[in-house]
Structure 1
């Protein structure tokens, strides 16, 4: 049986891709008051600007159950679990604890994607495609690690207040002057969210986002994903520019961000993920 790839719901992988490649998706949690909602499983209707909304990682028990089922499905060939950056979520640490509890003799490998959204999804997708082709556990694990190390994630948000309040934004990204007159362009560095630059206008911010993604893609085939929260027109405009300016696109995705990321990024967030070399 093929090695099974597991990821979490924050990876934002398209449902048809998940089904085709047999990827197991662990639901993360959105907390609304005293309600706990499973992303991708339960219906979610939330106010992204509310202080009463927060998120939580999957528990070691939840992960252990899913890893065990995935290991059984693989016929013992193994599991590669690709999770949201450990700098942004406790899910990776919960996964490590789950594996320790299972005592599976290293047949379950945990990968820190160093990313979020499709920054997690692309390494999981690259690993799953290799597994689907019959690769062994070590090969699938190494492919996931390689993709995680090479994927680049860029984000535009309207305000950084929610990110800083939740501890997701590096203290090095402290702003000088008012955010009201700047548009922060952020990027993930070693799994940590940091300020890349401040731009004065929205149109200039979109241009800088596109330029950063084009530069990251280089001249090789690249997988590209555009993600947004409540900004479909902006996402479509950025996607159109990337299709024109990235010379060789191997995979292209446009999708809305899930609620566990949306709670921290806020309405209007727009991001681009680039994986040079693609997901194959």
Structure 2
């Protein structure tokens, strides 16, 4: 039986990918104007960014344990193999809830082939891991092979990103109030990356224009074999800048635009990073 791949909405893939690869998607929740919305189902990122620009506050919450229990039970009952590749456990409690519910379901269905993997990835970096796993599933690979390759991609997925306004990272506890104030005053743009699933500050760059060049410098220093992998770019409602970064990458590394996926940072991650976020994702080891 074909292995089913499951993702949560923090992978920032759009619906056509879920349909093309028959991926099960479970949404996190966005809280806005005293209402709850299912990420990418009831609310789109553009709405969240517009509200944030208007000064509105947003919150997010993880997938409920009961949701996972219901989904996992349905697969256990039909004995279909399921591989759920989860949003980084360092950024959300979603993985922990899923792992707990998988064990609970297996108590009732000892033979259930339910696998829950912590990717330690986010946004399109996480999405690229999902797509590779879904490709293998579509080709008929077994769960062990899918997990091995997806884990390799997750381990070697670089996340290099910047935000347009440090205030949003301050609200999320990522930078101090002083750093946010001084950064805004001096027009300092932070570069961050993901290290073992956590957001870690990397550098501070003065001026928006210099950021893109520095991102490409880091890509050249850390990456490998770009012509044989898919490069990911996600943006917080700033497609023009994302396409500028793509064009710079294609020229620098002599790769086709077809090798680059551009998507908007989803509502859940965008609620913490804010409008103007720009992120770059690539493998630091050869593609497999």
- Name 2:268's counterpart in structure 1: 260
CA–CA distance in 2 between the matches of 1:26 and 1:41?
Answer: 10
CA–CA distance in 1 between the matches of 2:172 and 2:269?
Answer: 11
- Name 1:151's counterpart in structure 2: 157
CA–CA distance in 2 between the matches of 1:176 and 1:22?
Answer: 42
Unaligned runs of 5+ in 1: none
What is the deviation of 1:15? 2.3
Once the two structures are superposed, what CA deviation does each residue of 1:191-247 show, in whole Å capped at 9, x if it has no partner? 000111011111111111122223333235222011101211111100111112234
- 1:239 partnered with 2:242: no
- Name 1:59's counterpart in structure 2: 64
- Name 1:137's counterpart in structure 2: 143
- Name 1:27's counterpart in structure 2: 27
Q: Secondary structure at the match of 2:262?
A: strand
- Name 2:277's counterpart in structure 1: 269
The answer to whether the Cα contact below 8 Å between 1:170 and 1:194 also exists between their aligned partners in 2 is no
The answer to whether the Cα contact below 8 Å between 1:251 and 1:278 also exists between their aligned partners in 2 is no
What is the deviation of 1:254? 0.8
- Name 1:163's counterpart in structure 2: 169
Normalised TM-score (structure 2): 0.87
Note the aligned Cα RMSD (angstroms): 2.5
The one of 91, 96, 106 equivalent to 1:93 is 96
Which structure carries more relative contact order (alpha carbon 8 Å, separation 6+)? 2
Q: Secondary structure at the match of 1:48?
A: helix
- Name 2:215's counterpart in structure 1: 209
Distance 1:164 1:215, change over 3 A: same
What is the deviation of 1:175? 4.3
Unaligned runs of 5+ in 2: none
Q: Which moved more, 1:177-186 or 1:45-54?
A: 45-54
CA–CA distance in 2 between the matches of 1:120 and 1:176?
Answer: 27
The one of 108, 111, 115 equivalent to 1:109 is 115
CA–CA distance in 1 between the matches of 2:92 and 2:6?
Answer: 16
Kindly indicate which of the two structures has a greater share of residues assigned to helix. 2
The answer to whether the Cα contact below 8 Å between 1:219 and 1:247 also exists between their aligned partners in 2 is no
Q: Secondary structure at the match of 1:40?
A: coil
